[in-house]
Amino acid sequence: MFGQRTLISITAVSTLLLLGFSVYFFFFTSSGIVYVDSQKLMAGYKGMVEARKEYDKKRSVWDANIDTLSIDVQNAIKAYSKDQALGTPKEKELSKELIGTKQKQLMDYQNAIKQNAAQEEERLNQQVFSTINSFLERYGKRHGYKMILIATNGNIGYADQSTEITDKIIDELNKEYAVGVK
């Protein structure tokens, strides 16, 4: 009987201690879980801004090439219209073939550009995401975080504002980026 009471007392004390530690850790220590707003991060990170500029430059060249090919097609159509009124049947046939060739070149180029643009954007984004992910891992370990969540489009049901570290991440990430660029 005495042994059973002792066991019950030890169990009760252990339960109270466990409950006390749980309350202490819940209310008086940091959970080690923070979050970063991805849109804010992408807009503020200089590496992403530079990658976007690089992509936009390439996109401008591709668009200019498409415009040039489109003008070539339009000019060929104008020449064909002119040949319809004045040209020989052979000239008309050659103009028609030229239009078809230029239209095919334009379509082929547009398709190639769509594919290249998607691949280039993916490549640039992947480089930036890889840099950010490795930075977040180092940052999390250095600051003792158990988890850094990424809020995409603000999709976190609830988080205390004090757990958002986006501005800190942007500042340190940009400092690291500036050192790497120089």
Percent of the chain's residues with pLDDT above 90: 45
Six token digits for residue 84: 């319809």
Examine the pLDDT at 5 and tell me if it is beyond 60.
Answer: no
Quickly state the pLDDT bin for 137 (edges 50, 70, 90).
Answer: very high
Examine the pLDDT at 7 and tell me if it is beyond 60.
Answer: no
57 membership: H or E segment, kind and range: helix 46-86
Compute the C-alpha angle 110/127/47, nearest 5°: 100
Per CATH, the number for 31-181 is: 3.30.910.20
Looking at this protein, which amino acid is placed at residue 47?
G
pLDDT digits (tens, 9 = 90+) for 19-74: 444 444 444 445 688 999 999 999 999 999 999 999 999 999 999 988 998 898 88
Average pLDDT estimate for 110-119? 91
Domain ranges of the chain: 1-29, 31-181
Answer with the residue of higher pLDDT: 50 or 5: 50
Write down the pLDDT at residue 91. Answer: 77
CA–CA separation, 48 vs 159, rounded Å? Answer: 26
